[in-house]
């Protein structure tokens, strides 16, 4: 596990400059290393990692990859977080947490490779609010501020957080003042309520009151679709920086002052960046599909949906030659070519599912054996004569005896789960990158 040394912790914290900053927002699965590097190349001043849950990063092994200089934080061979030294001075690591000590452990794990720690207090999606994280923290301001205060006092890096707004203005202002008092260096604000989604217009009119209420830099987020939108929102609100999410998801060159590049140029440059950083094909495919989400009639979209390997994605864009050249170079140096290796998480989830099914079948078999034993104890007087116990059970069922009803659900069905009802572990096949073990492409 990578930790920050005492000397590193004693160095003065250098807060990032948020004045007129154009920032890549934290986006799960989108904001992986290739997109972050491209955003910086196209003009972004700062980039956020996707949210990483505290327990996921704590205890990871830090590995420097010889082939491209990237740094992996590995858990059981799976890359939880991949970065490159070239982004460190402008990289914000976002943590998902509902526990002050775990959040601190997570921050210390990656402290040597990032510049700022951010606590996610704004994402409303299930994977984020599960366990009280994300936007759920806004409902527990004391817990939220306790996590921030622990990070500020002990992680050795500048700390920020990202929230949404409440419909109640006073409640929002009270929260942001509490957050400021923890000592964080900046506050990012998404201009929607917890239950609002991107199809609903954001509340740009709410930014100014927050800017006026605190003395720390405020970063505005929500409905930034064009480069010119950044200037408009700064003028309207007085915010220090502007954070872009979906506009960058569709075309990361939105950060260019000169205007966005054609989509196909971006796609091919992105594919090359994925080769350079050895990005796993499932994440590569997902990110490219989001670039075409507004144009599903495109001749590229259907073949992309059907692509099941990095080579198949390359084939869609006539880039197999570049893939072959990259594989040859990697093999000549004995470097990994693991773009398609199956994520170990999926294998582990499958193993858990099979074990759960085996346990269910075992329990059913035991019940059947117990039933046979009970039948053997009761002497059968004839094939057509019921035992006294059987008659009593039949009478209770006909009369609706409470002793039997208490084992039934509201609809009268048995509350005992069948194998089909038994909860099964979810299979998570999306990881940021592939394991670093070498696997030659088929």
Q: Which residues are catalytic?
A: 123
Q: How far apart are CA 187 and CA 128, in angstroms?
A: 19
Kindly state the tokens that stand for 354. Answer: 């099979």
Kindly state the tokens that stand for 264. Answer: 């196909």
Residue 233 DSSP code: H
CB atoms within 10 A of CB 394: 11
Q: How far apart are CA 45 and CA 280, in angstroms?
A: 26
Q: How far apart are CA 14 and CA 185, in angstroms?
A: 10
Judge contact between 126 and 81, C-beta under 8 A. Answer: no
Kindly state the tokens that stand for 210. Answer: 């927050």
Q: How far apart are CA 120 and CA 134, in angstroms?
A: 5
Q: How far apart are CA 393 and CA 401, in angstroms?
A: 9
Q: How far apart are CA 350 and CA 304, in angstroms?
A: 26
Q: How far apart are CA 243 and CA 225, in angstroms?
A: 11
């Amino acid at each position: 596990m990578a930790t920050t040394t005492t000397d590193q912790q004693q160095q003065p914290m250098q807060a990032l400059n948020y004045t007129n900053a154009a920032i890549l927002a934290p986006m799960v699965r989108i904001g992986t290393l290739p997109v972050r590097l491209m955003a910086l190349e196209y003009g972004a001043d700062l980039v956020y990692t996707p949210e990483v849950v505290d327990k996921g990063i704590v205890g990871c092994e830090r590995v420097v990859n010889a082939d491209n200089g990237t740094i992996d934080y590995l858990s059981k061979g799976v890359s939880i977080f991949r970065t490159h030294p070239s982004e460190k001075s402008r990289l914000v690591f976002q943590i998902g947490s509902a526990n002050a000590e775990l959040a601190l452990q997570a921050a210390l794990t990656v402290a040597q490779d990032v510049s700022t720690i951010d606590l996610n207090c704004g994402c409303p999606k299930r994977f984020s609010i599960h366990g009280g994280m994300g936007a759920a923290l806004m409902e527990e301001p004391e817990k939220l501020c306790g996590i921030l205060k622990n990070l500020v006092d002990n992680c050795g890096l500048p700390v920020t957080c990202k929230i949404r707004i409440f419909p109640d203005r006073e409640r929002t202002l009270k929260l942001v003042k509490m957050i400021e008092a923890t000592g964080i260096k900046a506050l990012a604000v998404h201009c929607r309520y917890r239950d609002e989604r991107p199809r609903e217009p954001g509340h740009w009119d709410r930014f100014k009151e927050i800017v006026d209420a605190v003395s720390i830099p405020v970063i505005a987020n929500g409905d930034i679709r064009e480069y010119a939108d950044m200037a408009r929102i700064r003028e309207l609100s007085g915010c220090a920086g502007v954070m872009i999410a979906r506009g960058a998801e569709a075309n990361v060159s939105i950060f260019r002052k000169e205007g966005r590049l054609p989509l196909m140029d971006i796609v091919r440059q992105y594919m090359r960046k994925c080769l350079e950083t050895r990005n796993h094909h499932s994440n590569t495919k997902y990110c490219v599909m989001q670039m075409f989400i507004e144009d599903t009639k495109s001749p590229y979209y259907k073949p992309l949906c059907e692509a099941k390997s990095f080579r198949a994605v390359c084939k869609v864009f006539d880039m197999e030659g570049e893939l072959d050249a990259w594989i040859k170079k990697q093999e000549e140096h004995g470097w990994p070519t693991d773009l398609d290796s199956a994520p170990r998480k999926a294998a582990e989830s499958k193993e858990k599912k099979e074990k759960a099914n085996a346990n269910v079948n075992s329990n059913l078999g035991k019940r059947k054996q117990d039933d046979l034993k009970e039948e053997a104890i009761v002497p059968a007087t004839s094939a057509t004569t019921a035992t006294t116990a059987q008659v009593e059970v039949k009478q209770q069922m006909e009369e609706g005896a409470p002793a039997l009803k208490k084992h039934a659900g509201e609809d009268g069905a048995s509350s005992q789960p069948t194998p089909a009802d038994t909860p099964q572990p979810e299979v998570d096949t999306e990881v940021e990158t592939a394991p670093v073990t070498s696997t030659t492409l088929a």
